Amino acid sequence: MDEVSLSIPRPILDSLPEDGQVAAQDMERAVEGWEGRINRAIESADDESEAAGYVLDAIERMDDRLDAYDEFVPEMRAWGQSPIYAIAWRNLMADLIGQLYDHEDLAERLDRERQHRVVEDGIRLNDL
């Protein structure tokens, strides 16, 4: 499986306020971290199925973070604060997930791994 390359879309960076340079740097470090961890996991995997499992785990963590940032938006608005940073981080997580699914040889394997997990979870639940 090929290495994964992730980036921050320009519209997300453009959505940050003028004083958002620190947030942009934090996003850059976060994306580099995700990319590094995913590529190390792919490299250390014994086979493509295991590698897809690692990537799917990362996607699930990104999805959890997306949900957390999304929950901040109405809360910040209720307190009279701008939710722009929470929105930008939420959008970044969504875009990174999309980038992983857009990767050439990864989307089909991710779908297969997700289906495998659904079936495995269903069987476990029925055995109880």
For residue 127, name the pLDDT band (cuts at 50, 70, 90).
Answer: low
> What is the tens place of the pLDDT at every residue in 9-61?
999 999 999 888 999 999 999 999 999 999 999 999 888 888 888 999 999 99
**CA separation for the pair 114, 20 (Å, rounded):** 36
How far apart (Å, rounded) are the C-alpha atoms in residues 47 and 69? Answer: 34
Structure confidence at residue 128 (pLDDT): 52
Note the pLDDT of residue 35.
97
Tally of residues, the chain: 128
Instruction: Establish if 2 belongs to a structural domain.
Output: no
4 occurs within a structural domain: no
Q: Is 1 inside any structural domain?
A: no
Average pLDDT value over all residues in the chain: 88
pLDDT in tens, 69-95: 999 999 999 999 999 999 999 999 999
φ and ψ at residue 70, rounded to 5 degrees: -65, -35
Q: Which domain holds residue 56?
A: 10-126
Q: Bigger pLDDT: 122 or 41?
A: 41
Measured distance CA(65)–CA(83) in Å, rounded: 15
Confidence of residue 125 (pLDDT cuts 50, 70, 90): low
Specify the pTM: 0.85
Examine the pLDDT at 124 and tell me if it is beyond 60. Answer: no
The total domain count for the chain is 1
What is residue 113's predicted lDDT score, i.e. its pLDDT?
Answer: 80
pLDDT at 126 > cutoff 60: no
Query: Does any domain span residue 3?
Result: no
Contact (Cβ atoms closer than 8 angstroms) between residue 96 and residue 4: no
Residue 5 lies in a domain: no
